[in-house]
Structure 1
Amino acid sequence: MPNTLTETDFARLFLDEIPMIDLRAPVEFTQGSFFNAHSLPLMSDEERAAVGTCYKEQGQDAAIVLGHKLVSGEIKTARLKAWCEFVQTHPNGVLYCFRGGLRSRTTQQWIIDDCGVDYPRVEGGYKALRRFLIDSTERIVEKMNIIVLSGRSGTGKTRLLKKLENSIDLEGIANHRGSAFGNTTTPQPTQINFENNVAVALLKAEAAGFTTIVIEDESRNVGSLHVPPVMHEKMSQSPVVNLVVSDQDRIDITVQEYACDIHQDYCDQFGDAEGLGKLEEHLLGSLAKLQKRLGGERYARMQKSMKSAVAQLSDNQGYAAFANVFGELLLDYYDPMYDYQMSKKSERIVFNGSREEVLHHLQTVVDYKS
């Protein structure tokens, strides 16, 4: 009987980053999959749609016949070749379809017949794996202690998180820095992929033996993505450690991350000439998101300052001019909002300190590992 993996194997698939063949159609893969999955579909989007229509109109038997007709001859040969190459490259891998049904059983048998390898199939398919990750998030968040790392914008909270073994970087997983200027040069993942990757991070923290995890203070959304409700609810009740950094350090960090680093990323992707234009478009677009809150006069002034900073960068005068506009945003716009939010969390603040003090507190004072 062909090899089948059940729920008892699911954690290992993610913890050991086992390569997976995702047999679903490309549109299904795009909507949501797993970081260790590779799209090698049994059917194209068009073929899947045709089989689905046939199933509705004529029933399962007719749909199966149509599926075998569509995936035959040279098409079947090409797909089998891709699967067998994957199997040879990743002998420890697995395959799945949506529900672990006909698509994966058919492909598994074809691989046995053509490659002589009984490649494991995930029972329940993508749907079962997705359910496992959702349940894992709820289970682990319920039992884990969470410490929320807070601090004004520009304090370098993410930098500090990366020095902690027991941290989960939601902004990194979301590919977004969490503010109006938080977009990176590449798109955010889908909501499903974000949730799946958060669940895997929690599974890895659990497997490492951590009983406490440190998470940066976030709103319900990180860019266009929503923090899993069970996690955000736990964060809203958890103790807060507050990072305190000088205003000049905050401005320097913000210029580095929101101007220098983004500019370099754009240049790496598009070349120096186009990269500068992409930076200007990115910064002005981000500023425009705040137009209503800033008010017309202040927005117009900041827009002018931002354009001037980009022009000075174009003239090889460096990034220094960005300090003016980012400094005003930090001190006059973001700080009042931060102070208001922190006033509602004051009873949960358990520690205030510098970067070194906070790091020492989280590494040595807090008993975070079993």
Structure 2
Amino acid sequence: MHLPLSDDFLSIVLNETPLLDVRAPIEFNKGKFINAVNIPILDDEERRLVGTKYKEAGNAAAIELAESLIKNEGKEKRVALWQEYLKENPDAKLYCFRGGQRSGISQEWLKEANIDITRLKGGYKAFRNFLIQQTEEISAVTPTLILGGPTGSGKTILLNKLQNAIDLEGIANHRGSSFGSFTNAQPSQIDFENNLAYKLIQFHHKDFNKLVLEHESHNIGRTFIPKPVYDNFMQGELVLLQTPLDVRARITYEEYVVSALREYEMLYNDAGLQKWAENVKAGLKRIQKRLGNQLYTQLTYLFDEAYFIHTQSEAKALYIEWITLLLERYYDPMYDYQIQKSPIPIVFQGDEQSVLDFIKKQETKI
């Protein structure tokens, strides 16, 4: 039986094609693609048993064991779940790890149910290799504008106003600081790389002259930009966003207090304020050595006072006082040092509107 195969991975990325992943959940959770749904042909334990049988007795024995584990009822259940997904996503593609037996059997079962689906040639592994290769190649030839500025300058706000930007912190699901975690977990490293590849490939096929990125370190939370890609990104030019300290403190307050607290309250209800405060205190503890004992004690006292008042009434002014001290005494000196040591040439600096105007003049290919 000749069933359709495809390795047109570029089309999948550009069209964000839905994907049916029939690998075991443990494989899916280690690494997946955008718009992929996991409806496995073998669950984790079944996969383990079949894998052990393959090592001990070879391919034929492993297939026989898999068939005995699934049996008729299991097969019907799996096909029904796939059919339900494909009714909503008729253009979906199918894959397993190497595009071999598991996806091949799944494709045959769907054909028996009068459903045609294209299988990815080489499966997850081939698509993943394509994404890695494309990321390195595109980053090597793409001119970049690197948006810098002290903490709280509004860099992410500005990035989201541009069509030729990629929000690395958004992909990493992290704000990029000691206090930058969200209540929902960061993606796995593999997912981060896959998602970055999608964004970069999609950017490459649009009509823009330069890619705009935030001036990030190699790591964003617990994820990291692969070194060859990071080195390519940092070959660009630096644009500095200048924002007054009082405005930066308000921006930081809105993001790290108001928005963050809203997340915690949605997750923990009445305990949200306490959980959020514990997370902030843990962030302070992580940077205690760099702060020094005196500044750490001062910041902890200010935050505790603001938190105590917050449990009774509004504490915005005290939170902003705490944020301002943290910016002035910790983040600003650290950022000034980084800029002084940075080999990236500064080509422009100004307020938000002037930076936007500068970037947009260079936005479209001639």
User: Under TM normalisation by the shorter chain, which class is it?
Assistant: over 0.9
Deviates more, 1:26-35 or 1:234-243: 234-243
Q: How much has 1:288 moved relative to structure 2?
A: 1.2
Matches within 5 A, 1:247-266: 247-266=245-264
Letter in 2 for 1:146: T
Aligned partner of residue 168 in structure 1, secondary structure: coil
Q: Is 2:332 the counterpart of 1:331?
A: no
Corresponding position: 1:231 with 2:232 = no
**Superposed displacement of residue 319, structure 1:** 2.5
Which amino acid in structure 2 is aligned with residue 145 of structure 1?
A: P
SS in structure 2 at match of 1:299: helix
1:137 aligned residue (130, 135, 140): 135
Bigger mean CA deviation after superposition, 336-345 or 21-30: 336-345
Number of residue pairs matched by the alignment? 365
Residue 270 (structure 1) shift: 2.6
Instruction: Give the CA deviation at 1:347.
Output: 6.1
Q: Does 1:292 align with 2:294?
A: no
> SS of the residue aligned with 1:167?
coil
The partner residue of 2:316 within 290, 308, 319 is 319
Q: Which residue of 1 aligns with 2:300?
A: 303
Alignment-derived partner of residue 280 in structure 1: 277
Contact 2:237 2:346 (C-alpha < 8 Å) held by counterparts: yes
Match for residue 243 of structure 1? 241
Counterpart Cα distance in 1 of 2:304 and 2:344: 42
- Contact 2:234/2:344 (CA < 8 Å) preserved in 1? no
Query: 2:300 & 2:53 partners in 1: Cα distance?
Result: 56
- What is the CA distance between 1:296 and its match in structure 2? 2.3
- Contact kept? 2:138, 2:201, Cα under 8 Å: yes
Contact 2:19 2:92 in 1 (8 A): yes
Match of residue 190 from structure 1: 188
Determine the structure 2 residue equivalent to 1:216. 214
1:369 and 2:365 correspond: yes
Alignment match of 1:152 (pick from 134, 139, 150): 150
* Farther-moved stretch of structure 1 (184-193 vs 298-307): 298-307
In structure 1, what is the Cα distance between the partners aligned to 2:346 and 2:300? Answer: 36
Report if aligned partners of 2:20, 2:37 keep a CA contact under 8 Å in 1: yes
For structure 1, the residue ranges without an aligned partner over 5 or more in a row are none
Partners of 2:211 and 2:141 in 1: how far apart? 11
- Partner residue, 2:11: 12
What amino acid is the match of 2:172? A
Inter-partner Cα distance in structure 2 for 1:342 and 1:50 = 55
CA distance in 1: counterparts of 2:43 and 2:73, whole angstroms = 14
Give the letter aligned to residue 53 of structure 1.
Answer: T
TM-aligned CA deviation for residue 127 of structure 1: 0.3
Instruction: Report SS of the residue matched to 1:72.
Output: helix
**Aligned residues of 1:26 and 1:44 also touching (Cα < 8 A):** yes
Aligned partner of 1:77 in structure 2 is 76
Contact 2:172 2:220 in 1 (8 A): yes
Deviation at 1:346, TM superposition (A): 6.7
Contact 1:23 1:39 in 2 (8 A): yes
| TM-score computed with the length of structure 2 as normaliser | 0.97
Moved segments of 4+, more than 6 Å: none
Say which SS state the counterpart of residue 317 (structure 2) adopts: coil
Deviates more, 1:207-216 or 1:351-360: 207-216
Identity percentage of aligned residues? 41
Secondary structure (helix, strand or coil) at the match of 2:316 reads coil
Aligned counterpart in structure 2 of residue 342 of structure 1, from 330, 339, 346: 339
On the 8 A contact 1:244/1:352 being kept in 2, the answer is yes
Match 1:201 to one of 190, 199, 202: 199
Q: Identify the range of structure 1 (229-238 vs 196-205) with the bigger mean alpha-carbon deviation.
A: 229-238
Contact 1:260–1:319 (Cα < 8 Å) also in 2 = no
- Matched residues in 1 for 2:141 and 2:177: separation? 30
Q: Are 1:178 and 1:223, in contact at CA under 8 Å, matched by a contact in 2?
A: yes
2:365 corresponds to which letter in structure 1? K
Shift of 1:300: 2.3
Residue number in structure 1 paired with 2:30: 31
How far the C-alpha of 1:234 sits from its partner, in A, is 1.9
Residue 139 of structure 1: SS of its match in structure 2? helix
Q: Partner letter of residue 191 of structure 1?
A: Q
**Contact persistence 1:101–1:125 (CA under 8 A):** yes
Q: Does 1:161 align with 2:159?
A: yes
Q: How does 1:37-56 map to 2 (within 5 A)?
A: 37-56=36-55
Letter in 1 for 2:85: F
Q: Distance in 2 between matches of 1:153 and 1:55?
A: 54
| AA partner of residue 369 (structure 1) | K
Q: Deviations over 1:227-276 (max 9, x none)?
A: 122221023321100000101011111111011100011122232x1211
State the one-letter code of the partner of 1:185: T
Q: Is the 8 A contact 2:236 2:344 kept in 1?
A: no
Structure 2: distance between partners of 1:123 and 1:347: 41
| CA positional deviation for 1:368 | 4.0
Q: Quick one: which amino acid aligns to residue 73 of structure 1?
A: N
Q: Which residue of 1 aligns with 2:356?
A: 359
Moved more, 43-52 or 224-233: 224-233
Tell me if structure 2 keeps the 8 A contact 1:96–1:122: yes
SS at match of 2:248: helix
Give deviations 1:141-200, integer Å, cap 9, x for gaps: 112111100000110100000001000000000000111111111110000000001110
